[in-house]
Amino acid sequence: MLPKAARDYYRSGADDEMTLKRNRNAYQRLLIRPFCLRDVSQINTKTSFKLGETAFEIPFPVGIAPTAFHRMANDEGEKATVRGACKEKTIMICSSLSTTALEDVAKASSGEAVLWFQLYIYKDRKVTQDLIARAVKSGFKAIVLTVDTPIFGRRRADERNAFQLPYMKFANFMEYAKDLTVTPGVTTGSSGLWEYANNLFDASINWKDLEWLVKVSPLPIIVKGVMRADDTFKAIQFGASGVIVSNHGGRQLDYAAGTIEVLPEVVRAADGRIPVFVDGGVRSGTTFSRRSRSALKRSSWAARCSGDSPSRAAKESATSSTSSNPSLSIP
């Protein structure tokens, strides 16, 4: 059993958790109108796309979204996640707030997973540049800039539990001052993670920072947290190579729309110029088959359930219906 504070951290959303629920409920309103008599004896779930000039191909269009602190769920933590991603030859986005250093995640990979690194921009820009340089050196293939977290969401469960990480560290920041490696000590009524993020993340980030990042990063930049057509235009204008439609799983701005509700406008705005990914509320292959060509699914629960193959649960739920649902419905 996970300790309550860890379980609540993984499962909870911001404020009233309306968006957390909306991400899932919005799918229930989408129904499939199946085609028939289409020869589905051969089904291919492979998908390919480009980020700038770099081409990617994965065997099925589901990857692993970035989530912090995998070692709270499983001793092997992010190493287990990357092994799972390798087995399925898919994408793992390693969080800035991982409990395994990004170099060790890369070392634990057999090379078969596609590794992307998720970035929060800290007030100290040197930290950001160092992280990018380390990601490049370790073989990561893209930077995922999370833009929905300039200010950390209020998660009431974390505040009730005085959530902090007393027994593990932010493994990517070991060479920096102590305030970057541990959550501040807090008492009931506040969250150590909330304090950490709001002390250190740069709340002033704006489109100029994306432009800066695109200049300093040799890797393509994907912007995670885009929910509108006008922001999609801007992301392209300022140099993004891809966008992820995401509301952080309802953990940031409560009462934001469900991601599937805004996906069509973002896809229309992107108009094929950059790939569009989406996350939020994906819990099974049937959810997945009703959305775009690519989805990102979180892995922490799966890590807990599946030991060293955390992406297996993600894949099993996705591919069982990825292969059966298209067989029953694709044009």
Residues that bind ligand FMN (CB under 6 A): 10, 23, 65-68, 95, 97, 118, 146, 224, 246, 248-249, 251, 279-282, 297-298, 300
Q: Let me know the angle formed at the C-alpha of 154 by 149 and 158, rounded to the nearest 5 degrees.
A: 115
State the minimum distance, in angstroms, from the CB of residue 140 to ligand FMN: 15
Of 34, 102, 93, nearest to 300 by C-alpha is 93
Known binding residues: 9, 66-68, 95, 118, 120, 146, 155, 224, 246, 248, 251, 279-283
Q: Which is nearer to ligand FMN, 83 or 224 (CB)?
A: 224
Of 105, 39, 6, 80, nearest to 314 by C-alpha is 80
* Overall size of the chain counted in residues: 331
Percentages helix, strand, coil for the chain, rounded to the nearest 5?
A: 40, 15, 45
Q: Which is nearer to ligand FMN, 83 or 297 (CB)?
A: 297
Q: Which is nearer to ligand FMN, 43 or 99 (CB)?
A: 99
State the minimum distance, in angstroms, from the CB of residue 161 to ligand FMN: 14
Q: Which is nearer to ligand FMN, 40 or 283 (CB)?
A: 283
Known binding residues for glyoxylate: 9, 120, 155, 248, 251
Is 231 within 8 Å of 145 (Cβ atoms)? no
Signed CA dihedral, 50, 313, 120, 128: sign only: negative
- Amino acid residing at 118: Q
Catalytic annotation, pick one of 22, 70, 79, 248 = 248
Of all residues in the shown chain, the one whose CB is closest to ligand FMN is 249
State the minimum distance, in angstroms, from the CB of residue 251 to ligand FMN: 6
Q: Retrieve residue 160's tokens.
A: 């009730």
Is position 70 annotated as part of the catalytic site? Answer: no
State the minimum distance, in angstroms, from the CB of residue 225 to ligand FMN: 8
- Amino acid residing at 121: I
Known binding residues for FMN: 66-68, 95, 118, 146, 224, 246, 279-283
Angle at which helix 77-88 crosses helix 310-329, to 10 degrees, equals 30
Which are the catalytic amino acids?
Answer: 248
